[in-house]
Homo-oligomer: A and B are copies of this chain.
């Protein structure tokens, strides 16, 4: 037992480090002996590098075995055999379907795609280093300040009651309410069921937790003795890729503990589209369970660390309020709502304002009667995370014109200030988050996050965790394009030039630039680290979508870039961003650097602010009301702006006066 998670794992019956038989994780768990009798054969799959083994039924794929064994795999496509991320090397009997994602050389060495390989008997499996999701760098920082006055929607009140006697035998609830002086509050049935016992075990000295989130005042908990010195709340950012929970002391507004992890849904598809398709086929419950599991494990870790810190034993029931921010798809999954109509035109979510639910309904391991507030979305693809970004940035109170850019798997742009706001989303695609780019990966250990290309076309770079490189994350890719353009390796259309250099490779798919040799990469790497023409076109489209969306909003609102007084960059990817490089490739608009501001994880910031402040909760409504949404998917202006931006930095160089020229000093077409 090394850490809290192991304790959690053990207490929840999940595998710990040296577990030998791992049981099915979601839904009903059962060991072999309790399994319903069927005629299927079972076989053991060992993962020596993970110190895990699992027994699976005939027909289970290796990727499914990883899911069951709780080994996070970077399977972008959700197990469709398309992304080539789940490369594994099985030793033992198996049946694998060949895939174009496996090169001939890899095939010879015994590599297969985990999602297309089924063991035929007991087997041992080696994971390709890039397949396994490693230690991560998740953005848990936000610039959101502690709001004043602090006004969470729960409060505690300690009361000492007169015990009843025959001449004063008022009912327990009415006795309590009378003493609290609260006018006819609601009481959830679960709380009422405990009431008589708690009043008596607490010798009629009790603390009541009162929740008042607009619609009705509720006594959500009554506990013995005076606990008014502790009032905990939880802010949750549910990202498509990562989930962050923050445990807050609602009496001081201070963060007590933070915990973060990849969203366990990732194994069912990297991006929201893949996951929505998965849920349409398999039902939404599995995705709901995966994100709830992710959050509950984080709650456990946060409580554990806060308990150690404060030397008090904290319990989930001590958390009496929860605020959640996430994009529409994530909040829909979180509550088990159908996402089918968000995915398909005309992209309609079930609701913008997710009604307040109890933690019990949401399945969270906190006080079951606690209210869960969800920051509303403004559109199917402008979610509560973006509304939360705006709230964190304060742009809705700004008298100057502001531009907010949140680049994640999708890009969302908001333009405006205190009088009006315009918002849109663009399918930026996961290129900067490691998706759809052969050499791409998330910002985690082993990722190149900074890179320079030397004149001899060799490279100098920084790797997160100071390890040997595995791939390149978003900020590294931006650097790479800027450097390749500056060195003349690509032209203005980001096409690789057939230079005479051993760093330029030719393959069926077109030319490629060798970022690093196989020998210098992480042990076990099968190939050189190469960025291809196809990769670059994906990256170019992504940056063009972001810039095109910014330009479109300015045009639609008749505003000029020069009048923008501030640009806010939000989101995990944003925090690693080099503004100069991003402008130089034409992704971010060319305004003076000092106008740029980073707000970190604005989604978490917004969840925190709405948790702590009634004023901020009202402001969320205000943001929702004044924000106009522009649907770009069918917009001619956007198409035009997008096309013009498919150049480095842009067709119209006048829009990027500060951008460096390429080696020839001018435009190459």
Contacts and interface: CB of A to CB of B under 8 A. Distances in A.
Contacts of A353: 173-174, 184
Contacts of A195: 350-351
Interface string A160-182: 00001111111111100000000
A167 B377 CA distance: 17
Interface of A: 164-174, 184, 186-189, 192-193, 195-197, 200, 215-216, 335-338, 340-341, 345-357, 361, 377, 379-380, 631, 633-634
The listed residue with most B CB atoms (<10 A of its CB), out of A170, A186, A350, is A350
Contacts of A341: 172, 196, 200
A171 B338 contact: no
- Interface on chain A toward B: helix, strand, loop, or mixed SS? loop
The listed residue with most B CB atoms (<10 A of its CB), out of A168, A171, A196, A216, is A171
B351 A169 contact: no
Contacts of A169: 346-348, 379-380, 631
Contacts of A347: 166, 169
10 contacts: A166-B345, A167-B631, A167-B634, A169-B631, A171-B350, A171-B352, A188-B355, A192-B354, A193-B336, A196-B348
Nearest to A356: B186
A192 B570 CA distance: 31
A165 B197 contact: no
A300 B338 CA distance: 32
A390 B348 CA distance: 52
Nearest to A377: B171
Given A166-B634, A196-B340, A346-B166, A361 B189 contact: yes
Contacts of A174: 351-353
A192 B337 contact: yes
Closest 5 A/B residue pairs (Cβ): A173-B351, A169-B346, A215-B216, A166-B346, A171-B349
A345 B166 CA distance: 7
Nearest to A217: B215
A111 B634 CA distance: 86
B350 A166 contact: no
Given A193-B336, A335-B189, A173 B350 contact: yes
